[in-house]
Amino acid sequence: VRRKKSITIEEKIDIISAVESGKKKADIAAKYGIKRNSLSSIMKNKEKVLEAFESLRFDPKRKRLRTAFYSDLEEALVKWYRIAQCLNVPVNGPMLRLKANDFAQKLGHSDFKCSNGWLDRFKSRYGLVFRAQPVETAAAITTVDAPTLWYQNVFPYCLNDYQPKDVFYIQETGLLYQMLPPNTFAFKGETCSVGNLSKERITIVVGANMDGSEKLPLLVIGKNKSPHSFKDVKSLPVDYEANDMALMTSEIFEQWMHKLDDRFQAQERQVVFLVDPLPATTGVKNLKSVKLVFSPPGSSCVAPKQGVTRTLKVKYRHCLIKRFVDCVEGNKEFMLAPLDAIEMLYLCWREITPETIVKCYNEAGFEEVESGCDLIAHAQAAGVEFPEGLSLEEYAALDDSLITHKMPTNKESASDKAETFVGDADEDEGDDFQVAEQPLPSRNEALSALDTLQKFLRSQDTNDSLRDSLADLENFI
């Protein structure tokens, strides 16, 4: 008895193409050594064959299209394998077996166990072959193709179960918060390495979701837990941490992540944070509502996020110049303490609109601050020395190269550990101004100041929201 000949999916594709090109079915059947009724069966199942070939669900050399009993598990495992391929992560049999058992548990297949036989059949169904990759080839692919492949194939898969309002980008940036235009000569055209040790540097961490509807509270990292300007301050408009270098550490990042995780748990939300894979941002465990997704090394997610931090810094520099010019015109000494910088950053962060955030993510741009040229001209007219040809945007970008994270070491001194702001100032390490202490205003003085503000607003064309805010202030006082 002649055995029935089995042909591969690839051969079936060739047969379908030959039939559709008008060739005689008898000649095609003879060429591939099959019966006419076998050819008819192939044409009857044409859509299934084409779908299997185009989606690469099956090995083209495979001869049967039988699907697995645990189809959802296999689909998840294949996706995971494709992601590993994109990231050039070497996968072997034991890794695949562990991942299969993990998916089975998550998908509720309590009776599934990944045996050697099942794994071999799975590899055969999908044409998986584990080969060692040459080091040179792997390095070349990683540096050239990995970020692009990641954004095209991995990132969308990571976001499958999330709406845009639940996807947040996290970005760090350094800021020389007292740097005025006359001080920029040392930095223009150079790497701002000297600023890494500056007493007036801070690190800012910003986060906003994809549709711009929600901005996370700013995280500001300074050098002192309680600088002089924090005296009598019971709360800050930002999250504040401190260490000797004013840099992000793994401890600070973990504390911040758990604080945000508690916040989203209370809202009964599941969110994803896209984070750069820096030494300080890895290794956070036991998050229940926040999922961390790390971009591939070398990509830094600059395209979507730099626009947001740049917009914030442009707005901050705008406010800093304006404050400096007001002091010059008022014949007052210019002073800017850490608390002043924090409050200015908070106000600038509030001003960034959802439309600006979406534009930054979609176009990798940043919002132009209105009247930037006018402000520079005003500053120069007031006698402020502004470097020739330096735009407001360039001024804001001068400290972009500041390092923002501390490399982990085996032994960290006690002074490197995170210190959270807790209230009254009890130390002064010299990074703040020594100013004459003034008594806190009394309740009656606060009400008098509020009355003055109300009289001013009555003379202006204001909206109801400002009046409501004043009413809230009066009730608070």
Task: Give how many domains the chain has, as a whole number.
Answer: 4
Are residues 117 and 213 both part of a single domain?
no
- Of 283, 265, 173, 169, nearest in space to 216 by CA: 169
Q: Answer yes or no: is 255 within a domain.
A: yes
76 part of a folded domain = yes
- Is 430 within a domain? no
Residues 227 and 343 grouped into a single domain: yes
209 and 302 co-located in one domain:
yes
Going by C-alpha positions, the residue among 216, 101, 222, 87 that lies closest to residue 155 is 87
Q: Are residues 268 and 365 in the same domain?
A: yes
Does one domain contain both 289 and 317? yes
Q: Does residue 263 share a domain with residue 385? A: yes
Q: The domain that contains 318 carries what CATH number? A: 3.30.420
Residue 435 lies in a domain: no
**Has residue 436 been placed in a domain?**
no
Please tell me whether residues 329 and 285 are part of one structural domain: yes
Report yes or no on 431 lying in a domain. Answer: no
411 lies in some domain: no
One domain, residues 331 and 449? no
Burial class (CB in 10 A: 0-12, 13-18, 19+), 367: buried
Same domain as 176, residue 88: no
User: Does one domain contain both 245 and 381?
Assistant: yes
Both 315 and 226 in one domain: the answer is yes
66 in a structural domain: no
Same domain, 460 and 368: no
Structural domain range at position 311: 162-182+197-397
pLDDT by 10s per residue, the chain, length 477: 455 566 776 788 788 888 888 889 999 989 888 888 888 888 888 877 666 554 444 444 444 444 446 778 888 888 777 766 655 566 777 778 878 888 888 888 888 888 887 888 888 777 776 655 444 444 444 444 556 666 655 666 667 678 889 989 898 999 999 887 655 433 334 444 434 445 689 999 999 998 899 999 999 999 988 888 888 888 899 999 999 889 999 999 999 999 999 999 999 999 999 887 776 777 788 999 999 888 766 555 444 446 788 899 999 999 998 888 888 888 888 888 999 999 999 999 999 999 888 887 765 433 444 445 677 777 777 766 766 767 778 878 788 878 887 765 554 443 445 565 545 544 444 445 455 556 777 888 888 888 888 788 778 777 777 777 877 787 887
CA distances from 114 to 33, 99, 108, 123, 393 (A): 38, 9, 14, 12, 57
Output the pLDDT for position 375: 73
